[in-house]
């Protein structure tokens, strides 16, 4: 049984407590991915803020700290309710910069929240600042916003790289906190070198390169053992509907028949769309059709012509062209290489069809799309598995909320392993500066284990 004690204390089996080594503030805190990493390194949170009440309640349950609030009310031109601290972290709202949004950047209200972060930095000059956002923040549409962030940090005496540091947890090996999830994010790591830094060279190397760490072969991930997946084939809120099972069973039969028909050759890499299957002699491509689509239509016609008899029998058997199969379920995108069966893959029901991938690593958890279907478990990824995918320990408690709320919170969160890696990289890069300006923070990061899982396993919250 876990005992609730103050944040930042540990238990090694005999209830020995260790004092906090540094303080931090957790802005736009969500359920506490940043908190997990910093508490695991010995930090004590002195202020956390999260505007979403459901996420704030999960934060309170796990970290014993109320976070519900609005940073714009606590940090502005006339008010500063954020206390002094050593480290500031913020996964500030990404919607203004995300490709899934309008990409208005700082022209959108949420984009201006960076200015509230800057007010806190100006008031307290924490030793270390670590910001996280979607990769698109460093993309061509947001060059102005990126430059503003870098220049304002340097104006406050921070050493920071102008080159974006982009990283994904699937590039980290498991013994460094890596996870089988492609989740590219940009990290801005800044070290305070003094208020009289004017004239000094504040440029720095990026924290890391977007490539595997320590010789890790990221193609060797396997969900079954590396996540790991729960053994149970049932999980609350994760079952497939009768229709979903029908669609998968039908396309699974297709995969097996094509494997035999094509004498062991994998399915082609282009999307197979039953609504576009015609004999090549009957193919008509309308004038003005984009080149990519015309190529796609020709390949589908050629595929159907080569396997017409088998395909027609299969389509009739399963009623592919009936109301049981909506148009979005008549399309299969096979990215699972030589995986033998559809039920052995990881699937995603997309508006454009069913995408199948090998059970190695997953696409990024996101807050707005359906959760991955784990074929070998015949269900969706469970909330506990999704939490593991973000690096949260198995003791992390989401309370009585519905799975949909948990998926949304995790999709909005940060990867604990990626944060851990970023802090380690910042300590390595700025070691000489931190010896002078932030020795407590430097020592805590350097003495933390290489794998955050080792620290979080014994963290008492």
Active-site residue numbers? 94
What is 51-65 written as a DSSP string?
S-HHHHHHHHHHHS-
What is the rounded distance in angstroms from the CA atom of residue 22 to the CA atom of residue 7?
12
What is the rounded distance in angstroms from the CA atom of residue 235 to the CA atom of residue 238?
5
What is the rounded distance in angstroms from the CA atom of residue 298 to the CA atom of residue 280?
7
Going from the C-alpha of 142 to that of each of 40, 89, 184, the distances in angstroms are: 33, 21, 17
Residue 270: Cβ within 10 Å count: 14
- Structure tokens of 262? 């094509």
Strand, helix or coil for residue 169: helix
What is the rounded distance in angstroms from the CA atom of residue 237 to the CA atom of residue 142?
38
What is the rounded distance in angstroms from the CA atom of residue 133 to the CA atom of residue 416?
14
Quick one: which of 433, 431, 430, 423 has its CA closest to 193? 433
What is the rounded distance in angstroms from the CA atom of residue 448 to the CA atom of residue 455?
8
Residue 296: Cβ within 10 Å count: 16
Residue 277: Cβ within 10 Å count: 19
- Structure tokens of 275? 């609504």
What is 422-459 written as a DSSP string?
HHHHHHHHTHHHHHHH-HHHHHHHHHS-S-HHHHHTTE
């Amino acid at each position: 049984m876990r005992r609730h004690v103050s944040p930042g204390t540990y238990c090694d089996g005999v209830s020995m407590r260790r004092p906090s080594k540094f303080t931090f503030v957790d802005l736009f805190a969500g359920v506490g991915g940043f908190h997990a990493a910093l508490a695991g390194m010995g930090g004590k949170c002195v202020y956390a803020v999260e505007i979403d009440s459901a996420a704030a309640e999960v934060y309170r349950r796990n970290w014993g700290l109320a976070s519900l609030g609005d940073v714009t009310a606590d940090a502005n031109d006339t008010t500063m309710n954020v206390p002094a601290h050593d480290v500031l972290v913020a996964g500030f709202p990404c919607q203004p910069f995300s490709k899934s949004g309008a990409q208005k950047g700082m022209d959108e209200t949420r984009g201006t929240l960076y200015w509230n972060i800057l007010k806190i930095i100006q008031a307290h000059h924490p030793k270390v600042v670590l910001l996280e956002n979607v990769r698109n923040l460093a993309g061509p549409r947001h060059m102005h916003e990126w430059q503003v962030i870098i220049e304002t940090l340097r104006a406050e005496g921070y050493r920071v790289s102008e080159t974006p540091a982009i990283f994904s947890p699937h590039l980290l090996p498991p013994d460094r906190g890596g996870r089988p999830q492609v989740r590219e994010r940009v990290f801005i790591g800044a070290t305070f070198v003094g208020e009289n830094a004017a004239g000094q060279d504040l440029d720095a190397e990026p924290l890391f390169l977007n490539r595997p760490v320590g010789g890790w072969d990221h193609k060797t991930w396997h969900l079954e053992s590396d996540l790991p997946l729960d053994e149970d084939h049932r999980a609350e809120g994760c079952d497939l509907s009768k229709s979903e099972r029908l669609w998968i069973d039908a396309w699974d039969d297709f995969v097996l028949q094509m494997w035999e028909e094509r004498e062991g050759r994998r399915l082609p890499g282009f999307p197979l769309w039953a609504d576009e299957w015609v004999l090549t002699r009957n193919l008509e491509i309308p004038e003005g059709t984009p080149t990519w689509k015309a190529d796609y239509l020709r390949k589908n016609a050629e595929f159907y012509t080569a396997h017409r008899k088998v395909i027609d029998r299969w389509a009739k058997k399963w009623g592919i062209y009936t109301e049981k199969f909506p148009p979005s379920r008549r399309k299969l995108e096979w990215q699972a290489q030589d995986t033998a069966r559809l039920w052995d893959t990881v699937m995603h029901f997309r508006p454009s069809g069913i995408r199948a991938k090998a059970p190695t690593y997953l696409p990024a958890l996101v807050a707005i799309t359906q959760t991955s279907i784990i074929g070998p478990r015949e269900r969706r990824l469970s909330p506990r598995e999704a939490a593991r995918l973000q690096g949260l320990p198995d003791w992390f408690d989401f309370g009585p909320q519905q799975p949909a709320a948990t998926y949304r919170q995790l999709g909005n969160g940060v990867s604990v392993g990626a944060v851990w890696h970023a802090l380690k990289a910042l300590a390595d890069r700025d070691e000489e500066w931190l010896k002078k300006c932030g020795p407590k923070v430097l020592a805590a990061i350097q003495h933390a284990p290489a794998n955050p899982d080792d620290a979080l396993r014994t963290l008492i919250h």
